[in-house]
Amino acid sequence: MTGGGFVRLPDGSVVVALSLTMPPDDGPRPGARVRVLVHAANRARALTRLRNLGMRAVYLRGNTEPPVPDEITAVLHHPDGVVWRSAPDDDTESWHPIASLLRGRPAGAA
């Protein structure tokens, strides 16, 4: 993991943002940086959601790269509450459902 952070919303829930580097043999663009956003009741549940999707080595240390307002809006308006995009600094790229990131992974891959 290269960075991340969170924002607590007025209703008490949180949006967690993580900037990850895909392993060389994983995902649609191996070695690419991706920004993953998760909406959950709290930080622990957000990380558990990602771990349950197979991202076992995901941790949030600090709050160096919290989600910006546009990212918060994107994840709140997605039905699954988990989205990603491969160019974290490119505002022209759309957010994608997490299932599209995990499609190319072998079953049980961490």
- pLDDT tens track for 50-70: 899 888 778 888 898 999 999
pTM over 0.85? The answer is no
26: confidence class by pLDDT, cuts 50, 70, 90: low
pLDDT at 105 over 90: no
Q: Which of these, 3, 13, 24, lies nearest to 72 by C-alpha position?
A: 13
Closest CA to 9 of 51, 72, 54: 72
Of residues 109 and 21, more confidence is placed in 21
**What's the pLDDT at 106?**
44
Q: Please, are residues 80 and 97 in contact by the beta-carbon 8 Å criterion?
A: yes
List the chain domain ranges. 3-95
